[in-house]
Amino acid sequence: MELPKSGFLLTGFSALLRPFIHLLDKGSLPKYHGELAIAGLKNRVQARWDRFAIPHVFAANEHDLFLAQGFLHAQERLWQMEMSRRLFSGRMAEIFGDFSLPWRDLSTQFRGRSCADLDYFLRLLGIRAAAVASLDVLPEQDQLRLRAYCDGVNHYIEQCARKLPWEFRLLRHEPELWRAEDTLTIGKGLGFLLSTALFTRLNLIAIAERLKDEPEKLRTLYPSYPDDGPTITRSIRDQMSGLWQFASGLLAATDWHPAGNGSNNWAIAPSRSTSGSAILCNDPHLRMTLPSIWYLMHLKHDTSTAEQGGYEVWGASIPGIPYIQLGHNRCIAWGMTAAVCDDVEIYREKVHPLEPDCYLVGYRWRKFKTRRELIGIRRGRQLERIVRWSRHGPIIGDFSGAQNSREVLSIRWTAHEPSRESVGLYEVNRARDWREFQDGLRHHGSPSLNFVYADRGGNIGYTLAGKIPRRPEVPSLLPVEGWNERNDWSDYIPFEELPRIYNPPDGAVATANNRVADSGYPYLSHFFEPPHRIRGIRQL
């Protein structure tokens, strides 16, 4: 196959520049040999890389271990970390300016949208604000661990200020010091991308608009769609259409949408394995990137043995976040997939005809909460946007120009509430048995996840973890009346009542983004993946 001429020119030009690029970038390459003096360490820390380039980190105490993890993440993935925290904080235009989004060739939905629009969209969702609120509810010990991790990242940033990776120098951008809020923002942001309910609902309204004269076809696609489904006004349709187009563009451009991908995990008992031990496998289908989303590590501190409550874990971490997300210690192993539960509600809010800063609740009018957002633009400019919140959550319809509409759309999302996922992750890392594993998962809020479990005693299990709303009626697939208080969530399903199984008789547990409970179990979702993958796993 003949390459286009521009390809030859680009290849030749790159070949000429390669020696100069290497010299430019050499100073920012990670250090794998020798000794480094890192401020804040209490004792020596040793890091060794094996033949697969996986670091094995040994520290004398927990503080030093997580400080070293932060440093290693930063020296190999600082640009990736910087992009993650800025994306989910709504601060991309500060680096790239207010120009048409660079992904427009990947997704036609971005036509006419700018980088500042992306920032406004993500600030409307309130991801950063939810992360800041979550920091306040973390126990002191967990905050100290986060602080140690941040100190490691910041030592690299300060030490390498004049030899940062070439992306920073190319854009003449200097990263800010890392904060605990940045870590929690990345966690909340990844949870947003794994929460399918919002995107499915936005997609459904687009389908409903196309099939408005043929409702029976919509019920074929979604059998739970009610015969007397609510009528959607033109204003609401316009808001949903604009949101759906932009959100779909964001997912298409970043290749994050789980539809068509899907993760799998399973565990089998010793009776079904040739080794005589329990076996656990995890196949998380996140986007393929270079570098990878994951960063494999082995972390250990020597204050005590792992069996006595110390810390030694192998597995996959995420740059920007301490601990191990998927992996095993000397006692247990765990894996996870997206549970695709319905953790979102979209509400129609009725606005006062004469006082547009008020909306209806029951038979009374209440004022929107407002927040002024200053979106920074490269080279010092700023754009001002107003973010409005109802009692349910942010008015996402404002993104599509709903400021003067008589009805607007708000979103309630479980991740908006303060949560303690980092506490749960740390406790899972240290768990020695099923009970301690369950105690860790109790802290998990959003997104809902399917966890599988195996331990060295041959036990296996499955648990759904996350905040699942308890709704008063069967969930509506379209926006519900926000002024009708009967549509409010009454509570969350208690952790003890979520689906789980321990040592099943058939000796196997598995998930593949499928329905994990029969239709008699309420509240979970309409949005599960088709069952062909889980059937294939079961047949094996």
pLDDT in tens, 172-222: 899 999 999 999 999 999 988 887 777 777 777 667 767 766 666 766 766
* Total domain count, the chain: 1
Give the pLDDT of residue 277: 96
Name the more confident of 237 and 217. Answer: 217
pLDDT band at 25 (very low <50, low <70, confident <90, very high): low
Cα–Cα dist 503/433, whole Å:
13
Q: How many CA atoms lie within 13 A of 528 on its CB side?
A: 20
Lowest mean pLDDT among 321-335, 377-391, 516-530: 516-530
HSE on the CB side for 344, CA within 13 Å? 26
Q: Which residue has the tokens 């601060």?
A: 91
In a domain, 44, yes or no: no
278 occurs within a structural domain: yes
Burial of residue 216, with CB atoms counted within 10 A of its CB: 0-12 exposed, 13-18 middle, 19 or more buried: exposed
Structural domain contains residue 379:
no
Q: Of 52-61, 109-118, 404-413, 486-495, give the lowest mean pLDDT range.
A: 109-118
Give me the pLDDT at residue 260, please. 46
Span 319-324, mean pLDDT? 98
- The mean pLDDT of 262-270, rounded to a whole number, is 89
pLDDT of res. 162 = 74
- Tell me if 60 is assigned to some domain: no
Give which of 335, 329, 263 is closest to 298, Cα–Cα: 329
CA separation for the pair 146, 420 (Å, rounded): 12
User: Which contiguous run of DSSP H or E holds residue 454?
Assistant: strand 449-455
Helix, strand, coil fractions of the chain, as percent rounded to 5? 40, 20, 40
Give me the percent of the chain exceeding a pLDDT of 90.
53
**Which DSSP symbol is given to 100?**
B
Kindly state the tokens that stand for 317.
């971490």
Tell me the average pLDDT across 383-407. Answer: 84
Residue 17 domain flag: no
CA separation for the pair 371, 199 (Å, rounded): 25
- The reported pTM is 0.86
Per-residue pLDDT of 102-150, as tens digits, reads 554 444 445 567 888 889 989 999 999 999 999 999 999 999 999 999 9
Structural domain including 294 reads 264-341+417-539
At residue 459 the predicted structure's pLDDT band, cuts being 50, 70 and 90, is: very high
How far is it, in rounded angstroms, from Cα 298 to Cα 280?
18
Report the chain's mean pLDDT, rounded to a whole number: 83
C-alpha dist (Å) from residue 178 to 12, 82, 332, 514: 39, 9, 32, 37
Rounded to whole angstroms, what are the CA distances from 26 to 19, 22, 47, 172, 322? 10, 6, 21, 17, 27
**DSSP β-bridge partners for residue 347:** 410, 480
Name the band, by pLDDT with cuts 50, 70 and 90, for residue 1: very low
For residues 318 and 519, the model is more confident at 318
Is residue 131 situated within a structural domain? no
Sheet containing strand 508-511, edge to edge, reads: 279-283, 264-268, 508-511
CATH number at residue 421: 3.60.20.10
Run of H or E including 268: strand 264-268
> How far, in Å, CA of 405 to CA of 483, rounded?
16
Q: Is 85 helix (H, G, I), strand (E, B) or coil?
A: helix
Question: Which residues in 118-173 belong to E strands, given as ranges?
Answer: none
- What is the average pLDDT across 229-241? 48
Determine the pLDDT at residue 23.
55
In a domain, 251, yes or no: no
Q: End-to-end distance of the chain based on CA atoms, in angstroms? A: 41
User: What one-character-per-residue DSSP string does 281-325 give?
Assistant: EEE------SS-S-EEEEEEE-SS-GGGT-EEEEEEEETTEEEEE
- CA dist 129 to 137, 184, 339, 374, 514, Å? 13, 10, 24, 14, 31
pLDDT (average), residues 401-419: 84
Q: What percent of the chain has pLDDT over 70?
A: 78
Quick check: helix, strand or coil at residue 476?
coil
Is residue 312 in some structural domain? yes
> Comparing 124-128, 153-157, 222-226, 509-513, which segment has the lowest mean pLDDT?
222-226
**Residue 491 reports pLDDT greater than 50:** yes
